[in-house]
Protein backbone atom coordinates (compact mmCIF):
# COMPACT_ATOMS: atom_id res chain seq x y z
CA UNK A 1 0.00 0.00 0.00
CA UNK A 2 1.35 3.45 -0.86
CA UNK A 3 1.84 6.02 1.88
CA UNK A 4 -1.04 7.98 0.32
CA UNK A 5 -3.49 5.15 0.89
CA UNK A 6 -2.11 4.40 4.33
CA UNK A 7 -2.76 7.99 5.36
CA UNK A 8 -6.25 8.00 3.85
CA UNK A 9 -7.09 4.79 5.66
CA UNK A 10 -5.68 6.00 8.95
CA UNK A 11 -6.90 9.56 9.07
CA UNK A 12 -9.47 10.33 6.43
CA UNK A 13 -7.81 12.80 7.39
CA UNK A 14 11.28 25.67 -0.54
CA UNK A 15 9.97 28.70 1.27
CA UNK A 16 9.31 31.95 -0.57
CA UNK A 17 8.32 35.40 0.64
CA UNK A 18 4.78 36.46 1.49
CA UNK A 19 2.28 36.76 -1.33
CA UNK A 20 -1.04 38.54 -1.09
CA UNK A 21 -4.22 37.38 -2.75
CA UNK A 22 -4.91 40.54 -4.75
CA UNK A 23 -2.82 43.22 -6.38
CA UNK A 24 -4.56 45.92 -4.36
CA UNK A 25 -5.46 45.67 -0.67
CA UNK A 26 -9.17 45.69 0.21
CA UNK A 27 -10.58 48.92 1.57
CA UNK A 28 -9.87 49.36 5.28
CA UNK A 29 -12.85 48.83 7.56
CA UNK A 30 -11.13 48.70 10.91
CA UNK A 31 -7.80 48.91 12.64
CA UNK A 32 -4.71 47.19 11.28
CA UNK A 33 -3.25 44.35 13.32
CA UNK A 34 -0.08 45.47 15.11
CA UNK A 35 3.05 45.00 13.01
CA UNK A 36 4.69 43.07 15.85
CA UNK A 37 1.83 40.57 15.65
CA UNK A 38 1.89 40.10 11.89
CA UNK A 39 5.68 39.93 11.76
CA UNK A 40 5.71 37.18 14.39
CA UNK A 41 2.96 35.21 12.65
CA UNK A 42 4.76 35.48 9.32
CA UNK A 43 7.98 34.33 10.93
CA UNK A 44 6.21 31.40 12.59
CA UNK A 45 4.70 30.30 9.27
CA UNK A 46 8.03 30.49 7.43
CA UNK A 47 9.87 28.57 10.13
CA UNK A 48 7.19 25.85 10.24
CA UNK A 49 7.40 25.29 6.48
CA UNK A 50 11.17 25.00 6.70
CA UNK A 51 11.16 22.73 9.76
CA UNK A 52 8.61 20.25 8.46
CA UNK A 53 9.53 20.45 4.74
CA UNK A 54 6.14 21.73 3.60
CA UNK A 55 6.09 23.39 0.16
CA UNK A 56 3.68 26.17 1.06
CA UNK A 57 1.16 27.50 3.52
CA UNK A 58 -1.20 30.33 4.40
CA UNK A 59 -2.50 31.98 7.55
CA UNK A 60 -5.51 34.27 7.94
CA UNK A 61 -6.59 36.07 11.11
CA UNK A 62 -9.98 37.67 11.73
CA UNK A 63 -10.17 39.66 14.96
CA UNK A 64 -13.01 41.97 16.07
CA UNK A 65 -12.33 45.61 15.19
CA UNK A 66 -9.41 44.75 12.90
CA UNK A 67 -9.13 44.33 9.16
CA UNK A 68 -8.74 40.71 8.13
CA UNK A 69 -5.06 39.88 7.73
CA UNK A 70 -3.61 37.07 5.63
CA UNK A 71 -0.20 35.96 4.48
CA UNK A 72 1.25 33.20 2.32
CA UNK A 73 4.67 31.63 2.03
CA UNK A 74 6.30 28.98 -0.12
CA UNK A 75 4.88 27.54 -3.31
CA UNK A 76 1.49 26.25 -4.40
CA UNK A 77 3.09 23.97 -7.00
CA UNK A 78 6.66 22.74 -6.68
CA UNK A 79 7.33 21.84 -10.32
CA UNK A 80 5.89 25.08 -11.69
CA UNK A 81 7.35 27.18 -8.87
CA UNK A 82 3.98 28.89 -8.49
CA UNK A 83 4.00 31.11 -5.39
CA UNK A 84 1.45 30.32 -2.72
CA UNK A 85 -1.27 32.97 -2.48
CA UNK A 86 -4.11 33.68 -0.08
CA UNK A 87 -6.93 33.50 -2.64
CA UNK A 88 -6.87 29.79 -3.48
CA UNK A 89 -9.57 27.16 -2.93
CA UNK A 90 -8.62 24.60 -0.28
CA UNK A 91 -10.02 21.12 0.32
CA UNK A 92 -11.35 21.06 3.89
CA UNK A 93 -10.98 17.35 4.54
CA UNK A 94 -12.13 16.72 8.12
CA UNK A 95 -13.05 20.35 8.76
CA UNK A 96 -16.13 19.18 6.82
CA UNK A 97 -17.13 17.24 9.94
CA UNK A 98 -17.78 20.49 11.79
CA UNK A 99 -20.34 21.45 9.11
CA UNK A 100 -22.01 18.04 9.16
CA UNK A 101 -22.36 17.91 12.94
CA UNK A 102 -23.59 21.51 13.03
CA UNK A 103 -26.41 20.57 10.66
CA UNK A 104 -27.37 17.69 12.97
CA UNK A 105 -27.43 20.03 15.97
CA UNK A 106 -29.53 22.54 14.02
CA UNK A 107 -32.07 19.82 13.29
CA UNK A 108 -32.09 18.93 16.99
CA UNK A 109 -32.72 22.58 17.87
CA UNK A 110 -35.64 22.58 15.43
CA UNK A 111 -37.12 19.47 17.05
CA UNK A 112 -36.75 17.45 13.85
CA UNK A 113 -34.57 14.83 15.54
CA UNK A 114 -33.34 13.97 19.02
CA UNK A 115 -29.70 13.23 19.80
CA UNK A 116 -30.80 10.18 21.80
CA UNK A 117 -32.34 8.66 18.66
CA UNK A 118 -30.63 5.40 17.63
CA UNK A 119 -28.89 5.42 14.27
CA UNK A 120 -30.93 2.35 13.31
CA UNK A 121 -33.94 4.68 12.98
CA UNK A 122 -32.21 6.24 9.98
CA UNK A 123 -29.61 3.82 8.58
CA UNK A 124 -29.96 0.03 8.53
CA UNK A 125 -27.20 -2.49 9.04
CA UNK A 126 -24.94 -0.52 11.42
CA UNK A 127 -23.25 -2.83 13.95
CA UNK A 128 -24.86 -2.13 17.37
CA UNK A 129 -27.12 0.32 15.54
CA UNK A 130 -30.00 -0.04 18.00
CA UNK A 131 -27.70 1.02 20.85
CA UNK A 132 -25.78 3.83 19.10
CA UNK A 133 -27.25 7.31 19.47
CA UNK A 134 -26.83 10.26 17.16
CA UNK A 135 -25.16 12.08 20.04
CA UNK A 136 -22.54 9.36 20.34
CA UNK A 137 -21.83 9.68 16.62
CA UNK A 138 -21.31 13.44 16.95
CA UNK A 139 -18.87 12.92 19.85
CA UNK A 140 -16.93 10.01 18.29
CA UNK A 141 -17.96 7.61 21.07
CA UNK A 142 -20.19 5.31 18.98
CA UNK A 143 -17.70 2.53 18.25
CA UNK A 144 -18.80 2.07 14.63
CA UNK A 145 -16.25 0.42 12.31
CA UNK A 146 -14.10 2.53 10.01
CA UNK A 147 -14.96 2.34 6.31
CA UNK A 148 -11.39 2.47 5.00
CA UNK A 149 -11.11 -1.31 4.99
CA UNK A 150 -8.99 -3.54 2.79
CA UNK A 151 -12.06 -4.08 0.62
CA UNK A 152 -12.43 -0.34 0.10
CA UNK A 153 -8.72 0.10 -0.59
CA UNK A 154 -8.85 -2.66 -3.21
CA UNK A 155 -11.81 -1.05 -4.95
CA UNK A 156 -10.26 2.40 -4.78
CA UNK A 157 -6.95 1.25 -6.26
CA UNK A 158 -8.81 -0.46 -9.08
CA UNK A 159 -10.09 2.96 -10.19
CA UNK A 160 -8.88 6.03 -8.28
CA UNK A 161 -11.33 8.25 -10.20
CA UNK A 162 -14.39 6.24 -9.16
CA UNK A 163 -17.18 8.30 -7.60
CA UNK A 164 -18.32 6.68 -4.35
CA UNK A 165 -21.68 7.43 -2.77
CA UNK A 166 -21.95 7.90 0.98
CA UNK A 167 -24.11 4.79 1.18
CA UNK A 168 -21.40 2.77 -0.57
CA UNK A 169 -18.76 3.98 1.87
CA UNK A 170 -20.98 3.07 4.80
CA UNK A 171 -21.49 -0.42 3.37
CA UNK A 172 -17.73 -1.05 3.64
CA UNK A 173 -17.92 -0.17 7.33
CA UNK A 174 -21.07 -2.18 8.01
CA UNK A 175 -19.31 -5.33 6.78
CA UNK A 176 -16.89 -5.03 9.72
CA UNK A 177 -17.44 -5.65 13.46
CA UNK A 178 -17.95 -2.74 15.85
CA UNK A 179 -14.79 -1.23 17.33
CA UNK A 180 -16.12 -1.14 20.92
CA UNK A 181 -19.42 -0.97 22.83
CA UNK A 182 -21.15 2.40 22.34
CA UNK A 183 -20.15 5.08 24.83
CA UNK A 184 -17.16 3.26 26.31
CA UNK A 185 -14.34 4.99 24.39
CA UNK A 186 -13.68 8.08 22.28
CA UNK A 187 -12.13 7.04 18.96
CA UNK A 188 -12.18 9.41 15.98
CA UNK A 189 -13.98 7.50 13.21
CA UNK A 190 -14.90 8.89 9.80
CA UNK A 191 -17.83 6.51 9.44
CA UNK A 192 -19.57 8.31 12.32
CA UNK A 193 -19.84 11.49 10.26
CA UNK A 194 -20.82 9.64 7.08
CA UNK A 195 -23.78 8.23 9.00
CA UNK A 196 -24.72 11.69 10.25
CA UNK A 197 -24.68 12.98 6.68
CA UNK A 198 -27.22 10.33 5.77
CA UNK A 199 -29.35 11.38 8.74
CA UNK A 200 -29.33 15.00 7.53
CA UNK A 201 -30.52 13.90 4.09
CA UNK A 202 -33.17 11.62 5.57
CA UNK A 203 -34.63 14.27 7.89
CA UNK A 204 -34.52 17.17 5.43
CA UNK A 205 -35.50 15.16 2.35
CA UNK A 206 -32.65 16.86 0.48
CA UNK A 207 -29.34 15.67 -0.95
CA UNK A 208 -26.62 16.43 1.58
CA UNK A 209 -25.05 19.20 -0.51
CA UNK A 210 -28.39 20.99 -0.85
CA UNK A 211 -29.14 20.63 2.84
CA UNK A 212 -25.78 22.22 3.72
CA UNK A 213 -26.46 25.02 1.26
CA UNK A 214 -29.80 25.89 2.82
CA UNK A 215 -28.88 25.33 6.48
CA UNK A 216 -25.35 26.76 6.68
CA UNK A 217 -23.78 28.17 3.53
CA UNK A 218 -26.55 30.55 2.50
CA UNK A 219 -27.33 31.87 6.02
CA UNK A 220 -23.64 32.66 6.61
CA UNK A 221 -23.01 34.00 3.09
CA UNK A 222 -20.31 31.40 2.39
CA UNK A 223 -20.38 31.93 -1.36
CA UNK A 224 -17.01 30.29 -1.99
CA UNK A 225 -17.69 27.13 0.02
CA UNK A 226 -18.98 23.98 -1.66
CA UNK A 227 -19.68 20.30 -1.11
CA UNK A 228 -18.42 18.69 -4.35
CA UNK A 229 -20.36 15.66 -5.50
CA UNK A 230 -17.93 14.69 -8.27
CA UNK A 231 -14.51 13.12 -7.77
CA UNK A 232 -12.38 16.12 -8.72
CA UNK A 233 -14.81 19.02 -8.89
CA UNK A 234 -12.60 21.94 -7.82
CA UNK A 235 -14.41 25.27 -7.85
CA UNK A 236 -11.34 27.42 -8.57
CA UNK A 237 -7.53 27.61 -8.53
CA UNK A 238 -6.05 25.42 -5.81
CA UNK A 239 -2.65 24.35 -4.52
CA UNK A 240 -1.14 21.01 -5.46
CA UNK A 241 -1.07 18.61 -2.52
CA UNK A 242 2.07 16.67 -1.56
CA UNK A 243 2.84 13.66 0.57
CA UNK A 244 5.96 11.57 1.18
CA UNK A 245 6.37 8.70 -1.27
CA UNK A 246 8.17 5.42 -0.74
CA UNK A 247 11.53 7.19 -0.96
CA UNK A 248 10.48 9.75 1.61
CA UNK A 249 10.49 12.60 -0.91
CA UNK A 250 7.33 14.63 -1.35
CA UNK A 251 5.19 13.54 -4.28
CA UNK A 252 2.24 15.33 -5.87
CA UNK A 253 -1.10 13.72 -4.99
CA UNK A 254 -4.27 13.15 -6.90
CA UNK A 255 -7.69 13.92 -5.47
CA UNK A 256 -11.09 12.29 -5.12
CA UNK A 257 -13.62 14.22 -3.03
CA UNK A 258 -16.13 11.36 -3.05
CA UNK A 259 -13.96 9.08 -0.89
CA UNK A 260 -14.56 11.48 2.03
CA UNK A 261 -18.28 12.27 1.73
CA UNK A 262 -19.82 14.19 4.67
CA UNK A 263 -16.67 13.39 6.66
CA UNK A 264 -14.33 15.44 4.46
CA UNK A 265 -15.43 16.44 0.97
CA UNK A 266 -15.92 20.21 1.23
CA UNK A 267 -13.85 23.03 -0.29
CA UNK A 268 -13.53 26.68 0.70
CA UNK A 269 -11.39 29.81 0.77
CA UNK A 270 -9.57 31.51 3.64
CA UNK A 271 -12.14 34.30 3.89
CA UNK A 272 -15.06 31.88 4.07
CA UNK A 273 -13.20 29.74 6.58
CA UNK A 274 -12.65 32.73 8.84
CA UNK A 275 -16.39 33.37 8.73
CA UNK A 276 -17.11 29.71 9.37
CA UNK A 277 -14.61 29.41 12.22
CA UNK A 278 -16.24 32.36 13.98
CA UNK A 279 -19.75 30.93 13.53
CA UNK A 280 -18.63 27.47 14.63
CA UNK A 281 -16.79 28.65 17.72
CA UNK A 282 -19.42 31.16 18.81
CA UNK A 283 -22.40 28.90 18.16
CA UNK A 284 -24.02 31.45 15.88
CA UNK A 285 -26.28 28.88 14.20
CA UNK A 286 -27.26 27.04 17.38
CA UNK A 287 -29.21 27.66 20.54
CA UNK A 288 -26.89 28.68 23.42
CA UNK A 289 -27.62 25.54 25.42
CA UNK A 290 -26.82 23.36 22.41
CA UNK A 291 -23.49 25.13 21.91
CA UNK A 292 -22.61 24.70 25.58
CA UNK A 293 -23.26 20.97 25.35
CA UNK A 294 -21.35 20.77 22.07
CA UNK A 295 -18.20 22.16 23.67
CA UNK A 296 -18.16 19.59 26.50
CA UNK A 297 -15.31 17.45 25.25
CA UNK A 298 -12.91 14.75 26.32
CA UNK A 299 -9.48 13.57 25.16
CA UNK A 300 -9.61 11.16 22.25
CA UNK A 301 -8.30 7.65 22.86
CA UNK A 302 -7.28 7.64 19.20
CA UNK A 303 -7.42 10.33 16.55
CA UNK A 304 -6.04 13.73 15.54
CA UNK A 305 -4.14 15.98 17.93
CA UNK A 306 -6.75 17.77 20.04
CA UNK A 307 -6.64 18.67 23.71
CA UNK A 308 -10.28 17.56 23.86
CA UNK A 309 -12.98 16.70 21.33
CA UNK A 310 -16.65 17.58 21.71
CA UNK A 311 -19.44 17.25 19.16
CA UNK A 312 -17.83 17.89 15.79
CA UNK A 313 -15.48 20.40 17.40
CA UNK A 314 -12.11 20.14 19.14
CA UNK A 315 -10.01 22.33 21.40
CA UNK A 316 -6.37 23.44 21.12
CA UNK A 317 -4.69 25.86 23.52
CA UNK A 318 -8.08 27.05 24.79
CA UNK A 319 -9.39 27.69 21.26
CA UNK A 320 -12.10 25.63 19.55
CA UNK A 321 -12.53 24.52 15.96
CA UNK A 322 -11.54 21.67 13.68
CA UNK A 323 -8.59 20.34 11.70
CA UNK A 324 -8.35 18.29 8.52
CA UNK A 325 -5.91 16.18 6.53
CA UNK A 326 -5.73 14.04 3.40
CA UNK A 327 -4.47 13.75 -0.19
CA UNK A 328 -1.66 16.25 0.39
CA UNK A 329 -3.54 18.97 2.27
CA UNK A 330 -3.81 19.93 5.96
CA UNK A 331 -5.83 22.64 7.72
CA UNK A 332 -6.74 24.08 11.10
CA UNK A 333 -9.63 26.49 11.74
CA UNK A 334 -9.71 27.74 15.35
CA UNK A 335 -11.70 30.36 17.29
CA UNK A 336 -11.08 32.05 20.62
CA UNK A 337 -14.42 32.39 22.41
CA UNK A 338 -13.11 35.09 24.76
CA UNK A 339 -11.51 37.47 22.25
CA UNK A 340 -13.61 36.58 19.20
CA UNK A 341 -10.49 36.03 17.09
CA UNK A 342 -10.46 33.30 14.44
CA UNK A 343 -7.32 31.89 12.82
CA UNK A 344 -7.09 29.70 9.71
CA UNK A 345 -3.96 27.74 8.76
CA UNK A 346 -3.69 25.69 5.56
CA UNK A 347 -0.76 23.83 4.00
CA UNK A 348 -0.19 21.67 0.96
CA UNK A 349 1.44 18.63 2.56
CA UNK A 350 0.03 15.69 4.51
CA UNK A 351 1.18 12.32 5.77
CA UNK A 352 4.03 13.88 7.74
CA UNK A 353 5.06 12.89 11.23
CA UNK A 354 3.00 15.74 12.67
CA UNK A 355 -0.12 17.63 11.62
CA UNK A 356 1.81 20.81 10.84
CA UNK A 357 -1.07 23.35 10.95
CA UNK A 358 -1.84 22.11 14.47
CA UNK A 359 1.79 22.48 15.50
CA UNK A 360 1.96 25.94 13.93
CA UNK A 361 -1.27 27.00 15.60
CA UNK A 362 0.06 25.96 19.00
CA UNK A 363 3.10 28.16 18.32
CA UNK A 364 0.96 31.11 17.20
CA UNK A 365 -1.66 30.89 19.96
CA UNK A 366 0.16 33.08 22.48
CA UNK A 367 0.72 35.78 19.84
CA UNK A 368 -2.93 35.63 18.80
CA UNK A 369 -4.10 35.73 22.41
CA UNK A 370 -2.09 38.92 22.94
CA UNK A 371 -3.83 40.90 20.16
CA UNK A 372 -4.99 44.04 21.98
CA UNK A 373 -8.73 44.76 21.89
CA UNK A 374 -9.82 47.70 19.79
CA UNK A 375 -10.99 50.55 22.00
- Backbone φ and ψ for 202, nearest 5 degrees, come out as -65, -45
pTM of the model: 0.93
For the cut 60, the answer to whether the pLDDT of residue 25 exceeds it is no
In this prediction, residue 24 carries a pLDDT of 38
Residue 15 confidence (pLDDT) above 90: no
CA of residue 117 relative to chain centroid, distance:
26
Query: Region 135-152: what's the mean pLDDT?
Result: 98
Spatial CA neighbour of 138 closest among 304, 27, 297, 329: 297
* Predicted local confidence at residue 372, as pLDDT: 97
Q: What is the mean pLDDT of residues 232-260?
A: 96
Domains of the chain: 3-113+207-369 (3.40.710.10)
Whether 198 shows a pLDDT value over 60: the answer reads yes
How far apart are the C-alpha atoms of 272 and 201, rounded to whole Å?
24
Q: Answer whether residue 1 shows pLDDT above 50.
A: no
pLDDT tens digit sequence for 343-361 = 999 999 999 999 999 999 9
Contact partners, residue 88, CB within 8 Å, separation at least 6: 58, 76, 236, 237, 238, 239, 269
Phi, psi (degrees; rounded to nearest 5) at 98: -65, -35
Using the CB atoms, write b or e for 268-292: b if 16+ within 10 Å.
bbbbbbbbbbbbbbebebbeeebbe
pLDDT in the model for residue 3: 39
pLDDT (0 to 100) of residue 30 = 87
Residue range 237-250: mean pLDDT, rounded: 96
Does 92 have pLDDT greater than 80?
yes
Amino acid sequence: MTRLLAAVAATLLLTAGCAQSTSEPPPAQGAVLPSATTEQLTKDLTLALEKYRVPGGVVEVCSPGYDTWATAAGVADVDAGTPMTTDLVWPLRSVTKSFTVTSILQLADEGRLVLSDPISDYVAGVPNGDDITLGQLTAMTAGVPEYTTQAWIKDYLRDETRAFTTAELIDYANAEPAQFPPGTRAVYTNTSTLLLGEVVSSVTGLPFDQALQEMILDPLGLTDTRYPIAADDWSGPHPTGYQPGESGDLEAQGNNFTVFGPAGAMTSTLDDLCTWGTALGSGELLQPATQRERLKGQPLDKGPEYDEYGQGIGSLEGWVGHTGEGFGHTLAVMHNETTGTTAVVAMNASGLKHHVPTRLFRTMASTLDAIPPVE
